[in-house]
């Protein structure tokens, strides 16, 4: 690929990513605490910067004036940051699968030494030409250990791909295929670039993958609660309206509303960080107790709502018992300074009542407060 073609396709990719970034920042002004949003935007901005740097790394063959300096800087930066994008993608996928900030942070700390060692190797290699060298005619040549950098890159992509496949039951179907697709174009581009140096489409492939993820995952982030990673009240009301409109006498649905009884006590006693952790932990327990197609939302504060494709009370009570059991297990083994207690109200939607969203939420809210009056629980 010649320089002009490289510049054109890179500018096109930059324009797409810049548009996504502008739209996302305007639409998600209140998502600063959402780890998934942060990781996505970081990948997007780094890709834009690397697309610019990539142009510099393609200034081969012209040894006049500043071109050799720009070519050297471009290739050095490209090699040095090679593992950063796949590392961020691994973190993004891990959080999408497990929705646990602390576990994702553990992966982050594991990736730091990998990236640090790689940067150290690239710096040392500058004096020996191990990964690459640029001759007196300003021509790029691969070094004898060029494949080591490629192997690190491919290994991170394969690990991420494995996390997606192994945990596919935990991922929403439309999100699953988007995550699977993300790795395919860059992976193909990496293989092509190893085989043919003149083919350099890896970053452009990443731009395409980021666009797909934006359309099918990130575009939903306006409906995600930034703290817990589950849906927010706006999405709950939209989803409930759809469920009510699609209900019939033969097929309806169920809902459970939860309120943490001792949340104020946790906040006042241990501080807001621990309080936030309690909300995140409760959301995680709910997610693990339910099926991937069950709907979970944070209604507000310390209140949560679950919507289930269940049309009879017996099945609903089985789910209620399972959640109670899982919370008991959490309290027995959580290793935190608090236990989680909650009140709940649950009911199967009565199609013949013709209740709208607001009335139905009032109904389960009343049932939940009736349960709360029955037993006051403190830590």
Backbone angles phi, psi at 342, to 5 degrees: -150, 160
The pLDDT confidence band at residue 255, using thresholds 50, 70 and 90, is very high
Q: Is 118 exposed, middle or buried (0-12, 13-18, 19+ CB in 10 A)?
A: buried
Mean pLDDT, the chain, as a whole number?
88
Beta bridge partners of 121: none
pLDDT of residue 12 exceeding 60: yes
pLDDT of residue 29 exceeding 70: no
pTM above 0.85, yes or no: no
pLDDT of residue 32 exceeding 60: no
What pLDDT score was predicted for residue 197?
Answer: 65
- Of 218, 361, 378, 373, nearest to 299 (Cα)? 361
Question: Tokens for 285?
Answer: 């327990």
Nearest-angstrom CA–CA distance, 36 and 327: 26
The answer for residues whose C-beta is within 8 angstroms of residue 312's C-beta and 6 or more apart is: 348
What pLDDT score was predicted for residue 88?
Answer: 95
pLDDT of residue 375 exceeding 70: no
State what percent of residues in the chain have pLDDT above 90: 53
- Of 103, 108, 101, 116, nearest to 87 (Cα)? 108
What pLDDT score was predicted for residue 325?
Answer: 96
pLDDT of residue 312 exceeding 80: yes
Mean local confidence (pLDDT), 279-302: 92
The pLDDT confidence band at residue 121, using thresholds 50, 70 and 90, is very high
pLDDT of residue 28 exceeding 80: no
A 10 A CB-CB count for 146 gives 17
Please write the tens of the pLDDT for every residue from 41-61. 999 999 999 999 988 887 777
The answer for residues whose C-beta is within 8 angstroms of residue 76's C-beta and 6 or more apart is: 122, 126
The pLDDT confidence band at residue 379, using thresholds 50, 70 and 90, is very low
pLDDT of residue 137 exceeding 70: yes
Higher pLDDT, 320 or 229: 320
Nearest-angstrom CA–CA distance, 212 and 321: 39
pLDDT of residue 38 exceeding 50: yes
Mean local confidence (pLDDT), 172-191: 82
């Amino acid at each position: 690929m010649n320089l002009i073609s490289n510049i054109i396709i890179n500018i096109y990719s930059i324009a797409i990513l810049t548009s996504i970034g502008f739209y996302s920042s305007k639409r998600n002004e209140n998502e600063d605490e959402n780890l998934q949003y942060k990781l996505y935007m970081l990948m997007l901005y780094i890709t834009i910067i690397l697309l610019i740097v990539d142009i510099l790394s393609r200034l081969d063959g012209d040894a006049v004036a500043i071109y050799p300096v720009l070519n050297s800087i471009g290739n050095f930066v490209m090699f040095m940051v090679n593992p950063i994008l796949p590392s961020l993608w691994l973190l993004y996928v891990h959080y999408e699968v497990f929705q646990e900030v602390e576990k994702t942070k553990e992966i982050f700390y594991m990736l730091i030494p990998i990236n640090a060692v790689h940067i150290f190797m690239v710096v040392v290699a500058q004096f020996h030409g191990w990964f690459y060298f640029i001759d007196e005619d300003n021509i790029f040549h691969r070094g004898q250990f060029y494949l080591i950098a490629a192997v690190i890159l491919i290994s991170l992509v394969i690990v991420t791909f494995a996390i997606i496949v192994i945990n596919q039951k935990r991922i929403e179907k439309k999100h699953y295929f988007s995550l699977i697709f993300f790795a395919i174009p860059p992976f193909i581009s990496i293989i092509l670039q190893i085989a043919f140096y003149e083919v350099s489409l890896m970053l452009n492939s990443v731009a395409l993958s980021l666009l797909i993820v934006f359309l099918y995952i990130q575009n939903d982030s306006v409906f995600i609660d930034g703290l817990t990673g589950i849906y927010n009240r706006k999405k709950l009301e939209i989803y409930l309206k759809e469920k009510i409109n699609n209900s019939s006498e033969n097929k309806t649905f169920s809902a459970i509303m939860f309120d943490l009884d001792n949340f104020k006590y946790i906040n006042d006693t241990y501080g807001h960080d621990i309080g936030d952790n309690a909300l995140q932990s409760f959301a995680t327990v709910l997610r693990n107790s339910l099926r991937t197609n069950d709907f979970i939302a944070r209604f507000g504060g310390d209140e949560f709502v679950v919507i289930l494709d269940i049309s009879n009370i017996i099945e609903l009570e089985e789910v209620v018992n399972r959640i109670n059991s899982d919370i008991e297990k959490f309290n027995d083994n959580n290793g935190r300074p608090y236990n989680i207690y909650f009140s709940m109200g649950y009911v199967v939607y009565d199609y013949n009542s013709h209740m709208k969203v607001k009335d139905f939420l009032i109904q389960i809210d009343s049932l939940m407060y009736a349960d709360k009056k029955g037993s006051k629980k403190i830590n």
